[in-house]
Amino acid sequence: MTTDSDLLSRFAKENAQDAFAEIARRHLNLVYSAALRQVRSPQLAEEVAQSVFSDLARNAAKLKPGTVLTAWLYAVTRRSAVDTIRRESRRQLREQIAVEMNDMNATTDEWTQIAPLLDDAMAELDETDRTAVLLRFFENKTLREVGQALGATDDAAQKRVSRAVDRLREFFSKQNVTIGTGGLVVLISTNAVHSAPAGLSAAILTATAGTTTTLGITMIHKLLITSLIATVGTGVYTVHLQKQTALLQQQQASLAQQIQQLTHERDDAKNQLITAQQANEQLNSNTELLKLRGEMTRLRNQQTISSHPISLHATNQSPRTGSSLQEAQTNTPSIQVTAAFVNMSEATYQSLSEAWTKPDVHLSANLRSKDFRDFFSGYPDVNILGTPSVITPDGKEATTEVVRSVEVNGTNANLGVILDVMPTIVPGAGGVDLKLHAELRELADDATSNIRTTVVEATPGVKFNNVNTNTPDSNHIVMLPTKISDNLSGSPRYLVVFVTANAVDPSKFKERLVNVIQKMPQ
């Protein structure tokens, strides 16, 4: 299937109306539905849709290579919808629009609550997450297609979509709308995009044809002819339109007063919403402080864990029976995984790699310790971006992050480091097989303020031996480097992720190992 980029390129270079018609066919429902949710009027939604595709026709040659057309159309639709609402508030026919708004109620109570907030929630997502949600649920793309559009793997696309849905749920929760993840996905997939009115596609193509230099007997004319044939009769429609206009003009006096009342109520609602959001932010800040205090207490208690190594051998274990075996099976141990995200130049990385392999280099497995940071003090251009840590039970996936919220291109984006891990205990020297996925999200080094995501993955997994020991041995730290191109300076740099794993409770860890070894074939 021809891509949107190829079709847009043909239209920009060759004035190919059939290419533009195919683009309109693919994306018209998305644009119209997004406009309808915001302007609450089918007529105004049609005007917004025509304006959006007219903008696309005028700016087709100016779009940057690699632009995701779905995301571009959605952003322009939101801008055009806001402009339309402001313009229509000064027009005399506002009440007719308000009446039609009541006809656009959703078919379920949940959608009725979500629909007015959906586009504001989408605006809170960063550009990449918003694009992922649009492709997955608005256009029903597969995860593979979403990953290809974002330049990521299927798994990375799935994780990004899941995080974006969670953030949408958080937004709705702050607005006192509670809904589960599965229910939210079903509601968006089912109701977010509706069929546009018949004939709107022909009207759009008519409007955009004015931007071209050559008009002839093309597909635009064919669509217009088809649309004209479908009408009952031009003369009858014209008379009906004149009567409708006269009736609306007679309602002008009452409409003006009602529009003023609606505007006043809207402003009051906005003020109440701002007050509620400020209260929620204060509550969230207090909750986060309590979480941090609890984490500090847990870390202090963890310092009491025994540092003696535990040596396990399958041949020295006697079979467990009765309640002790049941306890070993149900008492699931937890693993603490800590990572350090370190940014450095290519020359520094080469020098550090040579020093790392020297036999006299011994570092503590605690990546947050002073001796770990001191190791980099003699190297230039080294920046420790973050040291996220997470505790998760054996075989359970967990996510942790060290991020900050910044404004990028008018929207809030979370920048920093993200770590996904899933440790699995395996026999052999008290070992752990760790599935790991690390991300660094940062501003790209160019004037566009784009967000760049660097992914570090360990496939099929990182293995740690003797995770119960606290001996300061460099073998307990795994180094995962990734080369990053720097567009500004022209020289590459490296993101190096150091990872270590430790058992939270050595006694539980030992019991699980014994249980695993006993179940192995003799």
- Summarize the confidence of residues 260-283 as an average pLDDT: 75
- Summarize the confidence of residues 372-377 as an average pLDDT: 78
Please check the confidence at residue 299 and state whether its pLDDT lies above 80. Answer: no
**Residues facing 407 on adjacent strands:** 412
The domains of the chain are located at 4-248, 255-304, 314-519
DSSP for residue 428:
T
Q: What's the pLDDT score for residue 441? A: 87
Q: What's the pLDDT score for residue 261? A: 77
Give the H/E segment covering residue 480: strand 478-484
Dihedral angle computed from the Cα positions of residues 94, 99, 101 and 106, in that order, rounded to the nearest 10 degrees = 180
CA–CA gap between residue 457 and residue 478 (Å, rounded)? 12
Please check the confidence at residue 496 and state whether its pLDDT lies above 80. Answer: yes
Q: What's the pLDDT score for residue 327? A: 40
- Helix (H), strand (E), coil (C) string for 26-73: HHHHHHHHHHHHHHCCHHHHHHHHHHHHHHHHHHHHHCCCCCCHHHHH
Residue 10 banded pLDDT, cuts 50, 70, 90: very high
Q: Could you read off the pLDDT of 188-217 as tens digits, one per residue?
A: 988 888 788 877 877 787 777 665 544 344
Lowest mean pLDDT, pick from 29-43, 152-166, 230-244, 436-450: 230-244
Closest CA to 132 of 159, 172, 171, 110: 159
Q: Look at 339 and 255; give whichever has higher pLDDT.
A: 339
Q: Look at 317 and 385; give whichever has higher pLDDT.
A: 385
Please check the confidence at residue 270 and state whether its pLDDT lies above 70. Answer: yes
Q: What's the pLDDT score for residue 127? A: 93
Lowest mean pLDDT, pick from 58-67, 122-131, 240-249, 376-385: 240-249
Question: What is the percent of the chain where pLDDT is above 90?
Answer: 26
Q: Look at 189 and 450; give whichever has higher pLDDT.
A: 189
- Mean pLDDT (the chain) is 76
Single-letter amino acid, residue 97: I
What does pTM read for this prediction?
A: 0.37
- Helix (H), strand (E), coil (C) string for 236-298: HHHHHHHHHHHHHHHCHHHHHHHHHHHHHHHHHHHHHHHHHHHHHHHHHHHHHHHHHHHHHHH
Q: Look at 261 and 126; give whichever has higher pLDDT.
A: 126
Q: What's the pLDDT score for residue 228? A: 42
Q: Look at 325 and 273; give whichever has higher pLDDT.
A: 273
Lowest mean pLDDT, pick from 41-45, 292-296, 487-491: 487-491
Q: Look at 347 and 239; give whichever has higher pLDDT.
A: 347
Q: Could you read off the pLDDT of 314-372 as tens digits, one per residue?
A: 233 333 334 433 444 456 788 888 899 998 888 888 887 777 676 666 666 677 877 77
Q: What's the pLDDT score for residue 473? A: 44
Residue 220 banded pLDDT, cuts 50, 70, 90: very low
- Summarize the confidence of residues 416-430 as an average pLDDT: 81
Please check the confidence at residue 487 and state whether its pLDDT lies above 80. Answer: no
Given a contact cutoff of 8 angstroms between Cβ atoms, the answer to whether 138 and 31 are in contact is no
Lowest mean pLDDT, pick from 222-226, 300-304, 456-460, 509-513: 222-226
Q: What's the pLDDT score for residue 361? A: 63
Residue 518 banded pLDDT, cuts 50, 70, 90: low
Q: Could you read off the pLDDT of 100-114 as tens digits, one per residue?
A: 444 444 445 788 888
Q: Look at 240 and 269; give whichever has higher pLDDT.
A: 269
CA–CA gap between residue 324 and residue 345 (Å, rounded)? 54
